[in-house]
Amino acid sequence: MILLFGGTGETETIADALDGGGYRVLVSTATEIPLAVGSRFGVLRRFGRMDQAAICELIDRWSIRAIVDAAHPFASALHQTAAAAAKESGIPYFRFDRESGGDFSFCIRVEGHEDAAKKAFSFGEPVLLTTGSNNLLPYADEARRTGVPLYARVLDDGRSLAACAAAGLLPEQIIAKRGPFSLSENCGLLRECAAGVLVTKDSGVAGGVAEKIEAAKRENCRVVLISRPEDNPEGHHSVDALLDALDRSQAGRPSLVLDLESVLVPEIWVEVAEKTRVSALALTTREEADYGELMRRRIGICRENGISLEVLRSVIEGMEPLAGAADFLAEAERSADIVIATDSFQEFLFSLLPKLGGFPVFCNRLRVGGDGFFEGVEFSFGGKRGVVESLRKRGKTVWAAGDSFNDLPMLEAADRAFLFRPSAGLLCSGFPVLQLYEELLASISGSVRK
């Protein structure tokens, strides 16, 4: 498990990249902000502020192996606390730094909010504050002292509005909106406020500072820019560089790529066949090696029998993992990064996969028509063999386990492979055959010791 501190616009991208790299991820944010990582089954969430002791406790409880700190560039206290917790717990700490916002030659640079407030209100012109709701008081105090109008653009949430009220701002001084904001939106707001001074932080390209500065230039408005509070030369400015560094820190720890159906959960289509009484749907890749042909047949049978996506989901919601599967995964994760590679479909799995604990999953997509019936299949991850090859290209040692004909390419590409409860036709394929999770665990732990 990787602990990712987020809250900025890059959080989703980094979480997605970590999951796609075969890492299970726990995203921690100060507030319950929405994140569009719903298609990533290996991304879990928590929210709420933590001190060093709480972070260390979380590291121990979740068996965290590394911290990725992608919090806001100005979250100095969190950066220091997270780094100290990583050091205390003996795990690697990686910082993601946004690239700086660009050319600041037009700006008046200051070192903090107190200096920014004094400078901004010294010109006697209306001030537009775009630094959020955490440090409103110095600006509110200067506005009251000088009589110069102040407007604050903050997030449209309860915490931000409460901070505005606590600073004494009136409703007409508050612009509650959620970015990112375009150049034209920034220009429009500056004109609306008749602002002569814009206050911003060097929050990086992704923070929209370049659009603010350009808008101020066009509207003949001064910019007071708060410099970043710290220099962090070890920070990574790209997601690829961050992932490469994380991979190097985890060298020697293998990835275990597992098929899903008949290895961790029952065969989904067999269950559907039983519940819908359409026996023709019970055919699986144990009997039909050509998965594309198998799915074409299933799509036609479903339409002929009125079996829509909604019907399938209702069946799958009632399914449970195979006995012992969740415990096996929890134990196996001590030795390897768990990755699930399945020919099943994202649209099926939202109710089933969380019962296994939440691990990175590579799966396909269904094309569903407006009538709720299937129209086709999108093979979206390069096949099971592609998952193994992708991990190996990144320097990972890969073990794999599957049960069917369509798992053979994956097993052939792995460094070490097992057949788990296979069909009779695969017994002579040359791969070791295991019947129990305990046997698979013993093989994995034995390899680690070697």
Judge whether 259 counts as a catalytic residue.
yes
pLDDT tens digits, one per residue of 402-428: 998 889 999 999 999 999 998 777 777
The per-residue pLDDT for 447 is 52
Domain residue extents for the chain: 2-97+237-249, 108-226, 255-449
Q: How confident is the model at residue 9 (pLDDT cuts 50, 70, 90)?
A: confident
388, amino acid identity: V
The per-residue pLDDT for 192 is 94
The per-residue pLDDT for 450 is 42
Segment among 20-24, 75-79, 351-355 with least mean pLDDT:
75-79
- Confirm if 417 and 431 have CB atoms less than 8 A apart: yes
Does residue 11 register a pLDDT over 90? Answer: no
- Confirm if 190 and 219 have CB atoms less than 8 A apart: yes
| Average per-residue pLDDT for the chain | 89
Is the whole model's pTM more than 0.85, yes or no? Answer: no
- Confirm if 61 and 89 have CB atoms less than 8 A apart: no
Mean of the pLDDT values across residues 32-53? Answer: 82
210, amino acid identity: A
The per-residue pLDDT for 256 is 96
Mean of the pLDDT values across residues 14-42? Answer: 84
CATH architecture of the domain with range 2-97+237-249:
3-Layer(aba) Sandwich (3.40)
Does residue 329 register a pLDDT over 90? Answer: yes
Does residue 37 register a pLDDT over 70? Answer: no
368, amino acid identity: V
Judge whether 57 counts as a catalytic residue.
no
108-226 sits in which CATH class?
Answer: alpha beta
Fold of 255-449: Rossmann fold (3.40.50)
Alpha-carbon gap, residue 116 to 118, rounded angstroms: 6
Q: How confident is the model at residue 234 (pLDDT cuts 50, 70, 90)?
A: low
The per-residue pLDDT for 423 is 79
Does residue 138 register a pLDDT over 90? Answer: yes
Q: How confident is the model at residue 448 (pLDDT cuts 50, 70, 90)?
A: very low
Does residue 231 register a pLDDT over 70? Answer: no
Element (H, E) at 342: strand 337-345
Mean of the pLDDT values across residues 87-114? Answer: 86
The per-residue pLDDT for 102 is 66
16, 142, 259, 407: which one is catalytic?
Answer: 259
Return the closest-CA partner of residue 71 out of 104, 52, 97.
97
Q: How confident is the model at residue 449 (pLDDT cuts 50, 70, 90)?
A: very low
97, 211, 261, 271: which one is catalytic?
Answer: 261
Handedness of CA 68, 73, 74, 80 (dihedral sign): positive
User: Which residues have CB under 8 Å from 352's CB, separation 6+?
Assistant: 265, 316, 317, 319, 321
Pick 99 or 114 by higher pLDDT: 114
pLDDT tens digits, one per residue of 249-264: 998 899 999 999 999 9
Does residue 292 register a pLDDT over 90? Answer: no
